[in-house]
Amino acid sequence: MSGALGKDLLGLEHLSADQIRLILDTAEPFKEISERAIKKVPVLRGKTIVNLFFEASTRTRISFEFAEKRLSADTVNVAASGSSVVKGETLVDTARNLEAMRIDMVVMRHGSSGAAKFLADRIESTVINAGDGKHEHPTQGLLDLLTIRDHRPIAGTKVCIVGDVLHSRVARSNIWGLLKLGAAVAVCGPQSLLPLGIEALGVHVFRRVEEAIAWADVLNVLRLQLERMQAGYIPSLREYYRHFGVTVERLEQAPRDLLILHPGPMNRGVEIDSRVADGPHSVILNQVTNGVAVRMAVLYLLAGGNPELAEAAKGASDR
């Protein structure tokens, strides 16, 4: 299995702008399948996919599973807590055993950065990274790009990623994808939650969220995990909200309406005001909807699907 994207999807850093555009363009016709009464096309019929989740996930795991099922793949879900991993089996042994059962693809979420590449280097099957540590979450980056593109051309758009960039794989995938497609990218947060040298990636740094809001067309608001306070990165969630929360009051000062994204799950009243999350410029649920289409596109292309035939493949459901 190797087509326009190669064997695996491990991150957006090493994809070209053309490859990213191809995925987004391929996702467009797949959007419509999820709107049908019978949400199924046979393009991955006979393919076997393992969803291997070593970390808890609701949205991403279900989104992948829907994408796989709507393309007629056979899927198995493995969660670390109920598997041989808890008996001390290594990652590579787990994967090789799965592969011995003749699978086609592995979708993996893992807590260690680089785990997806580690696996991809050691098995023949296609590996799709569903989040590896603090490294990348490429399908989240792609669905964010698709959601922004639904509203405005990405090239030239100013996007600011707000919050815990240090620990965020979503931030890294967003930065690579947005930069490759010509957006201007900034990050904003307390310096204790920004990685050292982030400017060298080609992003601007705002220390105050008011400045970020004054500059940006789009805000991508990251989840702030409670553990960050316990680990001493910030004094309190309350203070975080006061200084970095994306609130209606702050957005009202902006010279233009900002599109609001959030990868979820949200902490209402910590990084984002409910009135913003549920407000007229929030596209948070559109992101979730687009997630299924983007993942269908990724699965289809990695399975060797012809990009031009995506539209036609859609029609095959009539058979």
Partner 1 sequence: MKPIVVRGARVVDPSAGRDEIADVLLQDGVVRAVGRGLGTPDGAAVLDAAGLVAAPGLVDLHVHLREPGREDVETIATGARAAAAGGFTSVCAMPNTDPVTDNQAAVGFILGQARRAGFARVYPIGAVSLGQQGEQLAEIGELAAAGAVAVSDDGRPVATAHLMRTALEYARTFAIPVIDHCEDQSLSHGGAMHEGLTSTRLGLKGIPRSAEDIIVARDIALAELTGGHVHFAHVSTAGAVRMIREAKARGLRVTAEVTPHHFTLTDAACESYETNAKMNPPLREATDVAALRAGLADGTIDCIATDHAPHHYDAKEAEFDNAPFGVVGLETALGLAIAELVEPGVLTLAQLVERMASGPASLAHLPGGTLRPGQPADVVVFDPAAAWTVDPALFFSKSRNTPFGGRRLRGLVRWTLVGGVVVHSAGDRPDTGNRSGR
Residue 56, both tokens: 């808890």
| Comparison of 47 and 172: residue with beta carbon closer to partner 1 | 172
Nearest distance from C-beta of residue 118 to partner 1, angstroms: 6
Q: Would you count residue 233 as binding partner 1 (CB under 8 A)? A: no
Q: Would you count residue 133 as binding partner 1 (CB under 8 A)? A: yes
Q: Would you count residue 84 as binding partner 1 (CB under 8 A)? A: no
Helix (H) or strand (E) holding 206: strand 204-206
Tokens 């553990």 — which residue?
A: 227
Which of 31, 47, 117, 223 binds partner 1 (CB under 8 A)? It is: 117
Cβ atoms of 270 and 245 closer than 8 Å: yes
Q: Would you count residue 228 as binding partner 1 (CB under 8 A)? A: no
DSSP state of 96: H
Q: Would you count residue 90 as binding partner 1 (CB under 8 A)? A: yes
> Treating both helix axes as pointing N-terminal to C-terminal, what angle do 138-151 and 17-31 enclose, rounded to 10 degrees?
70
Q: Would you count residue 155 as binding partner 1 (CB under 8 A)? A: no
Nearest to 189 by CA among 204, 176, 177, 169: 204
Exposed, middle or buried by CB within 10 Å (0-12, 13-18, 19+), for 200? exposed
Which of 123, 150, 151, 195 binds partner 1 (CB under 8 A)? It is: 195
Stretch that binds partner 1, among 74-82, 189-197, 261-269, 310-318 (CB under 8 A): 189-197
Q: Would you count residue 172 as binding partner 1 (CB under 8 A)? A: yes
Which of 8, 65, 136, 271 binds partner 1 (CB under 8 A)? It is: 136
Q: Would you tell me how many other CB atoms lie within 10 Å of the CB of residue 186?
A: 20
Which of 65, 132, 164, 217 binds partner 1 (CB under 8 A)? It is: 132
148 half-sphere exposure, CB direction, 13 A CA radius: 30
Cβ atoms of 261 and 231 closer than 8 Å: no
How far, rounded to the nearest angstrom, does the alpha carbon of residue 272 sit from its chain's CA centroid? 19
Q: Would you count residue 170 as binding partner 1 (CB under 8 A)? A: no
Q: What is the contact mask toward partner 1 in residues 13 to 52, using x (rule: CB under 8 A)? A: x---------------------------------------
Give the phi and the psi of residue 159 in degrees, each rounded to 5. -115, 125
Contacts with partner 1 by CB under 8 A lie at: 13, 90-92, 110-115, 117-118, 132-136, 169, 172, 195-198, 200-201
